[in-house]
Amino acid sequence: MNAFVTGAAGFIGSHLVDRLLADGCRVIAYDNLSTGRQEFLHAALRHPYFRFERGTILDAERLRSAMRGADTVFHLAANADVRFGIHHPRKDLEQNTIGTYTVLEAMRSCGVRRLVFASTASVYGDARIVPTSEDCPFPIATSLYGASKVAAEAAIEAYCASFDLQSFIFRFVSILGPRYTHGHVFDFYSQLREHPDRLYVLGDVHQRKSYLQVSDCVEGILCALKNGCASVNRLNLGADEWCEVNQSVRWITEYLRANPTITYAGGDRGWIGDSRFVFLDCTRLRSYGWRPRRTIREAVVDTLEYLSQNSWAVAAAAQRNDCA
C-alpha cells in the first residue's frame, strides 16, 4: 500500500503511521503541526519508506502535489476540539467539512480511489438507541463538531457515488493511549499533579462513555480495510463496554495514589453538545474478526503511564491549551 495520511503527526495518525510502516507500506505523512507533534514521528522519520510533508489540508495545491503516487488516503486531520466549538463555529466548518472536500478533490485530481476517514460517535448526537448501530434512526446533531463530521461523511458518500471512490468511514468513541494529551484523563492527571487534594469534574457522576485503546483502533481500521468491499463502508469503532465518569476518576486517583475532594460541576452533561451516554454497537466490525484487546481501564492506565513518562508532552499540551 502507498498510504497518504493527513493529521499524521497527531495522536491516532502517528500510531497509524508506525503500524503501516511495520506492515511494509510506504507512507506519506501530511500535517501542519498545529496540534500534531513531530516528536510522535520520531521513529518513522528514520524509516526509508517514510516521507513527511508539512502543509494544511486547506492548501489544495500543496495537498495535491504531496498526494501524488498514493493509492489510499487516511484522512485524520481535523479540529478535534469538541468542547469549545461554540466559541468558534467556523473552525469546525473549515477544518472538518471544507477540509474534507479539499482532500476529496485532491484524490479526484490524483486518481486516488480509496479513502479512510476518521469520523466520530458525535455524529449520533443524543442517540435514542444505545448501544447505537450504524443504521440507527437519522440523528439530530447536537454539537458543531458532530455536525461538521456529519457533513464530511455525507460529502465522502456523495463522492463515492459520483466519482466511483471507495470509502471507509469510522465512527470512533474517544480513543485513549500513549501520546494522548486531550480529554478527561489528561485533564484529571494535570489537575491532580498540580494539587493532589482536589479534583473538579464536569457534569455529574453518572455520565457514561465508551473508550478504546489506540492500538485497538488502528487494528480495527486495518481489519476493515482487508474485509470491507462495499463502496461506502461505515463502521463503529469502540469497546464492548462503557464506564461511568466516577469509575474513571477512581482508576486515575488510584494510579496516582491521590485522595482528592471531588467537586462535580453538575448538570446532566459535561458541556453544551456533550452526550450523556456514548456506547456503540460494533457488531459490523466484529463480524470481520476484530475485537478490542485492551479494556477501558487498561486504556486509561496506558494513557496515565505515557503522561507520567513524558512530561515534555504534558507541558506542550498545557501550553497549547492555554493558547487555545
Task: Tell whether residue 79 is a contact of a copy of itself (CB under 8 A).
Answer: no
Q: State the minimum distance, in angstroms, from the CB of residue 110 to a copy of itself.
A: 15
Q: State the minimum distance, in angstroms, from the CB of residue 148 to a copy of itself.
A: 8
Q: Are 124 and 179 in contact (CB under 8 A)?
A: no
The angle formed by the CA atoms of residues 191, 195 and 198, to the nearest 5 degrees, is: 80
Task: Tell whether residue 324 is a contact of a copy of itself (CB under 8 A).
Answer: no
- Rounded to whole angstroms, how far apart are CA atoms 289 and 286? 5
- Candidates 93, 222, 225, 256; binder of a copy of itself (CB under 8 A) is 93
- Candidates 157, 187, 219, 244; binder of a copy of itself (CB under 8 A) is 157
CA gyration radius for the chain?
A: 19
Active site residue 145: yes
Q: Which residues contact 135 (CB under 8 A, 6 or more apart)?
A: none
Q: Are 110 and 67 in contact (CB under 8 A)?
A: yes
Which three three-digit cell numbers place residue 317? 499540551
- By rule CB under 8 A, what string of x and - marks binding of each residue 181-220 to a copy of itself? ----------------------------------------
Taking CB under 8 A as the binding criterion, the range among 150-158, 215-223, 239-247, 277-285 that sits at the site for a copy of itself is 150-158
Q: Which of 145, 159, 189, 255 is catalytic?
A: 145
- Rounded to whole angstroms, how far apart are CA atoms 28 and 41? 12
- Candidates 53, 105, 219, 298; binder of a copy of itself (CB under 8 A) is 105
- Candidates 33, 163, 315, 319; binder of a copy of itself (CB under 8 A) is 163
Specify burial of residue 271 (Cβ count, 10 A radius: 0-12, 13-18, 19+): middle
Q: Which residues contact 36 (CB under 8 A, 6 or more apart)?
A: 7, 8, 9, 10, 13, 14
- Rounded to whole angstroms, how far apart are CA atoms 153 and 146? 11
Q: State the minimum distance, in angstroms, from the CB of residue 238 to a copy of itself.
A: 16
Number of chain residues interacting with a copy of itself (CB under 8 A): 40
Q: State the minimum distance, in angstroms, from the CB of residue 101 to a copy of itself.
A: 5
Q: What is the CB neighbour count within 10 angstroms for residue 272? A: 12
- By rule CB under 8 A, what string of x and - marks binding of each residue 263-302 to a copy of itself? ---------xx-----------------------------
Task: Tell whether residue 137 is a contact of a copy of itself (CB under 8 A).
Answer: yes
Residue 25 Ramachandran class (φ > 0 left, ψ -120 to 50 alpha, else beta): beta
Q: Which residues bind a copy of itself (CB under 8 A)?
A: 85-86, 89-90, 93, 97-98, 101, 104-105, 125, 134-144, 146-148, 150-151, 153-155, 157-159, 161-163, 232, 234, 272-273
Catalytic residues: 145
